[in-house]
Structure 1
Amino acid sequence: MDETSEAISLIESPESNNQAMTDSASEDEQTVSSTTSTTTIASSVSTHTRVPPAVAIARQVSLSSPHMTRPRANMNVSNVSSSIPANSHPQMNRKRSSPNRQSGSNGSPSAISSSGDHIRTPHRNSNGTSSSNESLVGLVSTSTKCSSPAKNHAPRNRNHHLAANRSANGGAQSSSSAPSLPVALHQSASVPSSGDRIVPVSSSAAGSQSVPFFINVTPVHGDGPEEGSADSSPSETNLTTSRTQASIHNWQSMKMSMAERLAFLFNNETLSDVKFLVGRGSAQQRIPSHKFILSIGSAVFNAMFNGSMATNASEIDLPDVEPAAFMFLLKFLYTDEAQIGPDTVMTTLYTAKKYAVPALECQCVDFLKRNLNAENAFMLLSQARLFDEQQLADLCLETIDKCTTEAINAEGFVDIDLETLCSVLRRDTLSIRECKLFQAIVRWADEECQRQQIASTAENKRQVLGEATTLIRFPLMSVEEFASCAQTKILQDKEIVNLFLYFTCNPKPKVEFVDRPRCYLSGCEYTLTRFKQVDCRWGYSGTPDKIRFRVNQKIHIVGLALYGSTQLPMEYQVSIQIAHDESGKVCGDNDTSFSSDGSSNTFRVMFREPVEVRPHASYTASATIAGADSHYGTKGMRKVHIDTPDGKIVFHFQHSPGNNNGTSVEDGQIPQFIFYT
């Protein structure tokens, strides 16, 4: 600190002459030279003539300032060290003169000594005061590396430069307008006060070469009154602060493309001209944005800011939007990046629809499609119906059809709305038994009673279920299955009696519930006919008509077609089934009725559920019919095939052993099989 104090005393003395300053510089050179262990920076000037770009820019900035200040005398710079070797920037110590003054060998007003110390001499203004003509430029670096002493690179980190602009006015300046300093300087240096003058500072680390470091304090000048005078206005002070910030936060120079610049502005106060208050209560967030960027990305925002009813408010409340979803929307508008997760996809989809950003909508829907499964199918179906996403809704319904049992057992099933529940119950393609489906809607009714804060009684359950109860196909149940459903008391007594009569009596009474079987198979339905001709008078005595068959590919048989009455319209009671011959297991059955019109046409009788028939396995189809004499088929075929997109389906027929009411390969009942591939 001896050489520093000596330099301060020389600069602070207005009466000092140029010769005294030159002598002091010589002493400084000797002092620095004695403390260094390697060659000084100035000694390499003659060898390296290329000025690093960073130093050249800093010199240009500093030379443009006719006024200067200096750090306070108590500024602690001993703790600020630089890791730049002394010879890494040899051109820092080249001699230079101010463009406003004449420099020479005698009394040079601005020079850099061979040791790197910057020698300054006072300059007399027209008013007799003493001020310096240029500010000092310094480099503070902790990570700059040079590939070789002969080749220097400009620092890539803007923290390597310190350009703190400071007005040299006579009055005290508030701390709020003080320039920002890098972290290294905040820890050891105080902000210069008005009237201070800069002194050269050098830092030396133990065992390393002394390296000078300079602080550039560049005041901003305009055409108005001279800084430091009584006529300086607050507007000039604000302008100084603004320009200082622009110098420190020169973010534009760091962004090489428009995409990078727009990404920098995302959720940034820089250039922001509108703020959004998103959410409610403690979760509310204040999000800055830019009207132009929002307007070119959304027709809703364009109307909000530029339409005939445009708002001029600087802050806009959005209480119905989740802050996270709104941030994802802005992120997409600024960067075209969609950040979608399972927890935010629905709120993001809502926000994208509200502000008409179809590209983000598609991204959300695609995400839902990729993650659709039986566990979330009902929840996504409800949301898809709410947002009018028909394609997504169709995919959800398809998933529910294939995995009905898993879907109704998922937690999200009890959270759907009544209309969504009814839309599912109306479908003919659910792959579940009706008794399981009834148990599922009872569970839904319990949750709905809790949501409506009413007692979970049988009467209230029937009330909240509404139409859903009538969409359960009770006639497709067995008697045992229906008995368990009747015990819930959700059905009325009259409904229970009529259904029991339907199960036990012939002819069966009419009921208000659908008796059409459900089939979850998609694609084309095929009907195979095994007879070539039709004849009359086939009687029934309670013995089943049977035929044995096998196929070459896996199919799903959904029903059989039977012959009806020969003259008048008649109703027949029938029990159909398909059994696996090897195991004796009944694969599918149904007890129902059908009406005939007296023609030779066939009449469809469907199974409760599709019956899967495996290739090359032997099965027996049977139909126990009660009613008047009917038509029957003749000239039957042992091998019948039908062409499908999946290939040729071939049926092989054989006689069924035992009592089969006369039906055989050549003639009898069961003329047609209805199936899907």
Structure 2
Amino acid sequence: MASGGGNKKRQPGNRKNREANVDSNLQHCDDNSVAHNAEHHLMPEQCEEPMSTDSHEAGTFNQQHLGPAAQYCQQKQHQQHQQQVQHHMHVQHNPSSPHQHCSTQVHDHNISESLHSHTTTLSSLNTGFSGPVPYNWQASKTNVKDRLAFMFNNEVMSDVHFVVGKEMNTQRIPAHKFVLSVGSAVFDAMFNGAMATTSEDIELPDVEPAAFLALLRFLYSDEVHIDAETVMTTLYTAKKYAVPALETACVDFLKKNLCSDNAFMLLTQARLFDEPQLAGLCLETIDKNTYEALSAEGFTDIDRDTLCVVLERDTLGIRESKLFSAVCRWAEAECQRHGIAITPENQRQVLGPALQQIRFPLMSVEEFAMGPAQSNLLQDRETVQLFLYFTVNPKPTVPFLDVPRCCLTGKEQVVSRFCQIESRWGYSGTSDRIRFMVNRRIFVVGFGLYGSIHGPAEYVVNIQIICTDTGKIGGQSNSTFQCDGSNSTFRLMFKEPVEILPNINYTACATLKGPDSYYGTKGLRKVTHESPTSGKVTFQFTYAAGNNNGTSVEDGQIPEIIFYT
């Protein structure tokens, strides 16, 4: 039987002569075969010439740097092309032989089965890649970003694997040293530094798989994939591997989603990860929504240092008695974390210096008697000292701060509506009332009122803020105040800051029982108060119809509204 190119046994000889023979044989191939070979850049010597020893070693080295899917597809393509050339050469010399065509079909079927088997193996890996790599996948990727993104979490050409997580939550993730080294100085040192690792699998038990994948996705594609469940672990991972752009993206995400419900949790994390800007925003949120933040579940989970940072602030928007109650809840949770009984002694122990940050002197005597005095957290000597502070003059020194919280009784802002003061304003049990509106959200914490024209005196007072349209009471307080007979105003404070929304009418009310007092005249209908730190607030005052004891825009009581923004 005449021997064809496909079945001819190779003999030693000159390579140039063999190439000439192959060229001669290929001239007889049909046009479709030649076009097919040209399309796949298949050279004649690749079809006929076996790989030399050196060439084979080089090929093995290259395949070692490819992923298994890429290696297999490369081998499959080479075998298919070689079989097709051999088929054409054999048919030319053996046109009547049916065996070659049948053999090729069987061989391709075996390759298909093997490929399916290999695909199944890849699918079983815990990676993002599944299935064979399509031939010439690079052609559909029109830019570097798309080509690199294709390699993310992909076995193709991977040269390192990370075993991420611990215990039952581990994942083996493929990666490429070059990409990681370009994006992270830590990875660069890991792979290329003096102490570069040679391990094929690098274990990262302190990193969450989802966070590590988010890091890799960013390094491969600049895409940020984070959510509420993964943002904190991703921030930790970005910091660990020195990827500041991803750190910034995580912090921005947290800022956008910051609220009173998560302010304490994020504050703890911001302090842990040394993010002062985020920590500052958390503290501002706590200042403006103190009661809601303290009521959130995350408050009792914070550490003691964070608790002290919060209690030191002069800007908390809450009564000291309620702040004390929240601190007691934290102490109970801390005792449980330490596995000790919840007793006053243990609570005082776990609170440590935090207890000294409670400003007991800011409470009313009633608040102190109903709460701290009965809690047994204070020593007997401390309790006696505080009762004396509330009841005698001059007040004794106590081991607790008496500096007012700014948002309640300290550095508040005050708007005054009268230009002149006159004397003799009488009281008969009727409320003095004035209606007002502001152009931005504020919190009213109290009123300034005029006192007696007859020298030192005491007044019993009820103050309220009512939403004019709905009649709902926004805040109120019953208290007494003593005046010295001057025409200065005296402060009456609400138990809690009262939120005032813009462009809504509210009515300020004050019911006084006591001697005749001073009153204001030449009242202003519109007052713009400007602060160098918080900007402008415009108040508009209007007449409150009904029984108002004579107070109006022009004259009367309630000369000042005390507020913060």
Give the structure-2-normalised TM-score: 0.65
Who is 2:224 aligned against? Answer: 338
**Structure 1: any 5+ residue segments left out of the alignment?**
1-6, 14-44, 69-91, 98-108, 120-135, 142-160, 163-179, 189-245
Q: Does 1:650 align with 2:534?
A: no
The Cα shift of 1:329 comes to 1.5
**Structure 2: any 5+ residue segments left out of the alignment?**
10-29, 52-83, 118-131, 530-534
In the alignment, the residues of structure 1 paired with residue 140 and residue 403 of structure 2 have an alpha-carbon distance, to the nearest angstrom, of: 73
The Cα shift of 1:137 comes to 12
Q: Does 1:386 align with 2:315?
A: no
Q: Does 1:610 align with 2:539?
A: no
The Cα shift of 1:352 comes to 0.7
Show CA shifts across 1:486-525 (max 9, x none): 333222333334444555x36584553547356389x993
Q: CA RMSD in A?
A: 5.4
Contact 2:459 2:512 in 1 (8 A): no
Show CA shifts across 1:221-273 (max 9, x none): xxxxxxxxxxxxxxxxxxxxxxxxx9998765675543344334434555555
Contact 1:575 1:591 in 2 (8 A): yes
Q: Does 1:363 align with 2:249?
A: yes
The Cα shift of 1:402 comes to 4.4
Residue identity opposite 1:449 in structure 2? C
Q: How does 1:54-453 map to 2 (within 5 A)?
A: 57=40, 60=43, 64-66=47-49, 111=92, 117=98, 182-184=111-113, 257-268=143-154, 271-276=157-162, 278-280=164-166, 283=169, 287-306=173-192, 310-315=194-199, 318-453=204-339
Cα distance, 1:259–1:288 mapped onto 2, change above 3 Å: same
In the alignment, the residues of structure 2 paired with residue 609 and residue 187 of structure 1 have an alpha-carbon distance, to the nearest angstrom, of: 70
Contact 2:313 2:405 in 1 (8 A): no
Residue identity opposite 1:312 in structure 2? A
Who is 1:621 aligned against? Answer: 510
Who is 1:519 aligned against? Answer: 407
In the alignment, the residues of structure 2 paired with residue 63 and residue 266 of structure 1 have an alpha-carbon distance, to the nearest angstrom, of: 33
Contact 1:375 1:410 in 2 (8 A): yes
Show CA shifts across 1:126-171 (max 9, x none): xxxxxxxxxx999869xxxxxxxxxxxxxxxxxxx96xxxxxxxxx
Q: Does 1:548 align with 2:548?
A: no
The Cα shift of 1:413 comes to 1.8
- Higher helix fraction: Structure 1 or Structure 2? 2
Q: Does 1:495 align with 2:385?
A: no
Contact 2:448 2:492 in 1 (8 A): yes
In the alignment, the residues of structure 2 paired with residue 663 and residue 416 of structure 1 have an alpha-carbon distance, to the nearest angstrom, of: 49
Contact 1:545 1:670 in 2 (8 A): no
The Cα shift of 1:462 comes to 1.2
Contact 1:332 1:360 in 2 (8 A): yes
Q: Secondary structure at the match of 1:340?
A: coil
Q: How does 1:518-597 map to 2 (within 5 A)?
A: 519=407, 525-533=413-421, 547-553=432-438, 556-561=443-448, 577-578=463-464, 580=466, 587-589=475-477, 591=479
The Cα shift of 1:399 comes to 3.5
In the alignment, the residues of structure 2 paired with residue 603 and residue 114 of structure 1 have an alpha-carbon distance, to the nearest angstrom, of: 116
Show CA shifts across 1:337-365 (max 9, x none): 22223222111101111222111112212
Residue identity opposite 2:302 in structure 1? I
In the alignment, the residues of structure 1 paired with residue 231 and residue 542 of structure 2 have an alpha-carbon distance, to the nearest angstrom, of: 53
Who is 2:340 aligned against? Answer: 454
Q: Secondary structure at the match of 2:242?
A: coil
Residue identity opposite 1:340 in structure 2? I
In the alignment, the residues of structure 2 paired with residue 466 and residue 247 of structure 1 have an alpha-carbon distance, to the nearest angstrom, of: 62
Residue identity opposite 2:36 in structure 1? P
Cα distance, 1:401–1:603 mapped onto 2, change above 3 Å: same
Q: Secondary structure at the match of 1:519?
A: helix
Cα distance, 1:311–1:525 mapped onto 2, change above 3 Å: same
Cα distance, 1:432–1:489 mapped onto 2, change above 3 Å: same
Q: Secondary structure at the match of 1:637?
A: strand
Contact 1:506 1:573 in 2 (8 A): no
Show CA shifts across 1:97-143 (max 9, x none): 5xxxxxxxxxxx75177789477xxxxxxxxxxxxxxxx999869xx
Q: Secondary structure at the match of 1:296?
A: helix
In the alignment, the residues of structure 1 paired with residue 226 and residue 162 of structure 2 have an alpha-carbon distance, to the nearest angstrom, of: 21
Cα distance, 1:674–1:432 mapped onto 2, change above 3 Å: closer
Q: Does 1:673 align with 2:561?
A: yes
Give the structure-1-normalised TM-score: 0.56
In the alignment, the residues of structure 2 paired with residue 311 and residue 417 of structure 1 have an alpha-carbon distance, to the nearest angstrom, of: 37
Who is 2:55 aligned against? Answer: none
In the alignment, the residues of structure 2 paired with residue 348 and residue 94 of structure 1 have an alpha-carbon distance, to the nearest angstrom, of: 55
Contact 1:384 1:392 in 2 (8 A): yes
Contact 2:474 2:498 in 1 (8 A): no
Show CA shifts across 1:361-403 (max 9, x none): 1221222233333332221111012112233223333443444
Cα distance, 1:289–1:546 mapped onto 2, change above 3 Å: same
Cα distance, 1:353–1:392 mapped onto 2, change above 3 Å: same
Cα distance, 1:494–1:64 mapped onto 2, change above 3 Å: same
The Cα shift of 1:653 comes to 6.1
Moved more, 576-585 or 350-359: 576-585
Cα distance, 1:66–1:409 mapped onto 2, change above 3 Å: same
